[in-house]
């Protein structure tokens, strides 16, 4: 299989026409059709339904199209990085992060990093903690900020800090006015909304384990894909949710937060990087985090 096959196929799929795709690619139509046919023979599946006008993708074609677009994007990215490295003056530092770290100090870290290293271009990719490991190994990112510890011999994981979990309640909920501290047991009165639904293990499992470790059974479990959805359902009075304390900064109508009085209700923030990576950017980002923690009175390393 050649990249040309992918480019030709993607052009036909996007243009929904062999004629228009040939014009776009600046090739004659017969060789374009032959290339697509060769590609289909090599894969052993029909990708384009030639009887339809405009040309439509078959089911297999749709799956291949999604994958082909991603591969071509990655190839373009590779070329861009190579050009950048050849020109010698711009460096690039790629960061993978779980969305909830954006409510913590990630924006401050990025701002201060850029002030220290204006010559480095930052690239940000939203990835789950597990996805960050694969992305570090194949070089798509240089550092990952996640919440779930995964063991991998090629990757160093450094605990930055442990963040307390707080309870997100629908505004007006009776629990918000209860005297005394909030215990986990009180959360079993309402459906528990957890995220992300996949991949597992995830933050959802950390929350579920808290209840299980105490022999508590949530009223019922609602699994959703992401934090924003979870808070939306809380606002709709469909349940309660445990979130890292920094999410409190996210002022959302219909959601009120209450501190949770449980020592082990914590969510770690973990920095991951390649064991052999000695880049200056890695050193700088660590120094930036340390200086922010010092200023904010936080303990680097979660002690």
Question: To the nearest whole angstrom, how small is the minimum distance from the Cβ of residue 152 to ligand BEZ?
Answer: 19
Q: Do 135 and 96 contact (CB within 8 A), yes or no?
A: yes
- Quick one: 9 or 145, whose CB is closer to ligand BEZ? 145
Phi-psi group of 46: left, alpha or beta (phi > 0 → left; psi -120 to 50 → alpha; rest → beta): beta
Least Cβ distance, residue 127 to ligand BEZ (angstroms): 13
Instruction: Considering the complex, state which of residue 131 and residue 190 has its C-beta at the smaller distance from ligand BEZ.
Output: 131
Q: How far is the CB of 9 from ligand BEZ (least distance, A)?
A: 40
Minimum distance between the CB of residue 286 and ligand BEZ, rounded to whole angstroms?
Answer: 10
Question: What is the number of the residue whose Cβ is closest to ligand BEZ?
Answer: 104
Taking the least distance from each CB to ligand BEZ, the nearer of 109 and 165 is 109
Q: Which is nearer to ligand BEZ, 161 or 173 (CB)?
A: 161
Least separation in angstroms between residue 192's CB and ligand BEZ is 24
Q: Which is nearer to ligand BEZ, 161 or 274 (CB)?
A: 161
Please state the closest distance from residue 105 (CB atom) to ligand BEZ, in A: 4
Question: Which residues contact ligand BEZ (rule: CB under 6 A)?
Answer: 101, 104-106, 109, 145, 160-161, 246, 269, 289
Give the up-direction half-sphere exposure of residue 192: CA atoms within 13 A in the CB hemisphere: 26
Beta strands in the chain (DSSP E): 48-49, 56-57, 91-97, 120-126, 143-146, 155-170, 192-194, 221-223, 240-244, 255-259, 266-274
* Alpha-carbon span 303 to 80, nearest angstrom: 42
DSSP conformational letter for 189: G
Q: How far is the CB of 97 from ligand BEZ (least distance, A)?
A: 6
Residue whose CB is less far from ligand BEZ, 15 or 108: 108
Q: Which C-beta is closer to ligand BEZ: that of 168 or that of 288?
A: 288
Residues 6+ apart with CB under 8 A from 204: 194, 195, 196, 197, 223
Identify whether the C-beta of residue 271 lies closer than 8 Å to the C-beta of residue 301: no
Tokens of 179: 């005297």
For 35, 50, 291, the CA distances from 22, given in Å and listed in that order, are: 11, 15, 56
């Amino acid at each position: 299989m050649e990249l040309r096959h992918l480019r030709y196929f993607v052009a036909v799929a996007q243009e929904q026409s062999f004629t228009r795709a040939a014009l776009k690619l600046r090739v004659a139509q017969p060789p374009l059709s032959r290339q697509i046919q060769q590609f289909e023979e090599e894969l052993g599946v029909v990708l384009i339904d030639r009887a339809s006008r405009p040309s439509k993708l078959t089911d297999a074609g749709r799956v291949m199209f999604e994958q082909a677009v991603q591969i071509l994007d990655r190839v373009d990215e590779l070329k861009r990085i190579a050009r950048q490295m050849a020109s010698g003056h711009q460096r690039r530092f790629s960061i993978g992060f779980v969305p909830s770290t954006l409510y913590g100090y990630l924006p401050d870290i990025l701002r201060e990093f850029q002030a220290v290293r204006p010559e480095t271009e930052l690239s940000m990719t939203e990835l789950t903690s597990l996805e960050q490991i694969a992305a570090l190994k194949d070089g798509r990112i240089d550092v990952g900020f996640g919440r779930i510890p995964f063991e991998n011999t090629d990757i160093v994981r450094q605990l930055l800090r442990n963040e307390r979990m707080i309870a997100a309640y629908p505004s007006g909920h009776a629990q918000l006015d209860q005297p005394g501290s909030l215990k986990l047991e009180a959360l079993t009165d309402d459906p528990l909304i957890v995220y992300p639904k996949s991949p597992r293990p995830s933050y959802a499992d950390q929350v579920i384990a808290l209840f299980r470790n105490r022999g508590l059974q949530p009223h019922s479990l609602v699994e959703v894909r992401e934090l924003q959805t979870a808070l939306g359902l809380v606002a709709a009075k469909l349940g309660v949710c445990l979130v890292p304390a920094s999410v409190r900064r996210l002022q959302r109508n219909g959601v009120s937060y209450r501190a949770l009085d449980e020592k082990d209700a914590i969510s770690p923030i973990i920095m991951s990087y390649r064991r052999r990576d000695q880049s200056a950017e890695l050193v700088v980002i660590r120094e930036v985090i340390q200086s922010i923690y010092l200023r904010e009175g936080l303990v680097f390393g979660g002690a």
